[in-house]
Chain A
Amino acid sequence: MKSNLLLLLTVGIFSLTACAQKDTTIQPAQTTIEHEVVVDGLDIAWGMTFLPDGSILITEKSGEIIRFQNGNKQTLTGGPEVYHRGQGGLLDIILHPNYVENGWIYMAYASSEGEGDGGNTAIMRTKLNGNQFTNSEVLYKATPNTTRGQHFGSRMVFDKDGYLYFTIGDRGNHNENPQDITRDGGKTYRIHDDGRIPQDNPFVGQAGAKEAVYSYGHRNAQGIILHPETGEVWVHEHGPQGGDEINVIKKGENYGWPAVTFGENYGGGAISDLTTHPDMEDPIHVWTPSIAPSGFTYVTSDKYPSLKGNLLVGALKFQYLEHVVIDGTDVQRREKLLEDIGRVRDVKQAPDGTIYVSVEKLGIVKLIEKEVSGTE
């Protein structure tokens, strides 16, 4: 009887553990990645990009834009007017691929421009003249404005042909937005660098379509990369409770949200019984439990032999940087880097190959690879 009781207790404890939100699929790192704080005194550095002179442009979610140069922080003026609510604020910042010639800087942000209360995601291009932004042009503004606090996206990337891709989340309206190409939200978009709609976009000419849309059925993507070898655009996106995904973006395809998902409602309850559908694209990776991914990088740098050719993803929820070891589109292993460092918001590889990571309330740190142990 005594042993039975013990067994009961063991099983009881075991099943409790099984039901708690713990990620047992991720492994400890096989490499020693250390970090060093480069920029401190930041609040939520949502995005960052690197100017040719070695300075870093940093977007604070609150709307402030900072240039970090030679150890000094300079606040820049003339940036976009930002709608700050919930997950909305000043978001991503990137440079034009030919920045050296044309000076264009791109920003994604929540904006209340246009009719109606609330806001929605906008994309601006602008130039930096001294410490001031000038020549600003709004290239895209999603509609309608709404006071809902969720899912603005937004990350941007240029592909090899010079098209600008950006993401906008479903704005907390997954019943109407993601599956409807006549509505903004829950989409990946593709435009020319000056905001014009490419005529070979998949929904050009369709009645009522948002012609900038390139793919749909997304929930909220806060990570986008250009795969340096295949030239594909990859995004990762937040699922609800469970079901965060990595998707390879294909023209005109439907990625399923909310008709198809691996996630469930917060606190439980099915959103959909389907995890796959013949007419919809499957993700190449699913995170359950959700890690809340933000920031995405494909490592090409020789400074990090153990990371090269793999993905880095910020995990807002579990407060680490995830190293996703891939072979093609096959996720082979996942590792925790910078464990317990804080909410990792962005990760980018600078032109000199150094990888910088933005951590909420901590600031921007750079990765240093000390030694490689074990085998890949």
Chain B
Amino acid sequence: MKITTIKLLIFIGLLSCKTNSENKEEAEYIPQEKIALQQDQSSESYKRGKLVYDDFCVTCHLPNGKGIPGNFPPLDGTDWLTDKRTESIHAVKYGLSGPITVNGVKYNNVMVSMGLTDQEVADVMNYINNSWSNAIKKPVTIEEVKAVKK
């Protein structure tokens, strides 16, 4: 009984740290395979978007798109992408600051304007929209980004 309990304790301990080792693998191996799996992820825009993401977004939103709870909101599974498409494009294009709610959690931080071109905004949106558990097929076009005004 005692040994079983200890084993369980260790198992739970490991389980709660699982995200860390998962991230490791995801950062190094998974993206390549995923690209081959989905049509949207093989698009040129998606591939360019990954480069933009790894340059400008990854430090806060992390390679797994989960952000840092309480500090930086998640992009994986966020209700913003599904419900606030224009606001999402606006945030990437012009930056975003002040109180927001993402998946019911409140955030109050600053994302500066990145100085991306409209094409880069479209590309990184397509990357985010179709990475991790996200599957928003409708591509973001450069025209759509152009139409989003300050």
Contact = CB atoms under 8 A, between A and B. Distances in A.
Interface of A: 4, 7-8, 11-12, 15-16, 18-21, 44, 61, 84-86, 88, 148-150, 172, 265-269, 317-319, 342-343, 360-361
Nearest 7 Cβ contacts at the A-B interface? A85-B115, A267-B23, A267-B63, A268-B23, A15-B16, A268-B24, A16-B16
Contact of A61 (B17, B58, B112): B112
Contact of B27 (A4, A44, A268): A268
B83 interface: no
Given A11-B12, A15-B12, A268-B27, A86 B19 contact: no
Given A84-B113, A148-B55, A343-B110, 14 more contacts: A4-B5, A7-B5, A8-B9, A11-B12, A15-B12, A21-B68, A86-B115, A149-B55, A150-B55, A269-B23, A269-B27, A342-B110, A360-B112, A361-B98
A184 to B, nearest CB: 18
Contacts of A85: 114-116
Count chain B CB atoms within 10 A of each CB in A8, A84, A85, A266 and give the residue with the most: A266
Interface string B8-21: 11001101110111
A267 B24 contact: yes
A8 B5 contact: yes
A59 to B, nearest CB: 14
Interface in B64-101: 64, 68-69, 71, 97-98
Contacts of A4: 5
B42 interface: no
A84 B115 contact: yes
Given A20-B69, A268-B21, A360-B110, A7 B27 contact: no
Nearest to B69: A20
Contacts, number: 85
Nearest to B98: A361
Contacts of B59: 150, 266
Contact of B9 (A7, A19, A317): A7
Count chain A CB atoms within 10 A of each CB in B19, B21, B26, B59 and give the residue with the most: B59
Contacts of B63: 265-267
Contact of A361 (B9, B12, B26, B97): B97
A260 B55 CA distance: 22
Contacts of A18: 16-17
B133 to A, nearest CB: 16
A267 B9 contact: no
A84 B112 CA distance: 11
B116 to A, nearest CB: 8
Q: Looking at chain A's contact residues, is the secondary structure mostly helix, strand, loop, or mixed?
A: loop
Q: Looking at chain B's contact residues, is the secondary structure mostly helix, strand, loop, or mixed?
A: helix
A372 to B, nearest CB: 31
B4 to A, nearest CB: 9
Contacts of A20: 69
Interface string B133-147: 000000000000000
A338 to B, nearest CB: 15
Count chain B CB atoms within 10 A of each CB in A61, A85, A150, A343 and give the residue with the most: A85
Given A148-B55, A266-B59, A269-B27, A15 B112 contact: no
B109 interface: yes
Nearest to B17: A19
12 contacts: A7-B5, A12-B12, A12-B13, A15-B13, A21-B71, A84-B115, A85-B114, A85-B115, A85-B116, A149-B115, A267-B23, A318-B71
Interface string B114-129: 1110000000000000
A11 B62 contact: no
A68 B71 CA distance: 32
B33 interface: no
A318 B114 CA distance: 21
Nearest to B20: A268
Interface in B44-68: 55-56, 58-59, 62-64, 68
B21 A11 contact: no
Count chain B CB atoms within 10 A of each CB in A148, A149, A342 and give the residue with the most: A149
A272 to B, nearest CB: 15
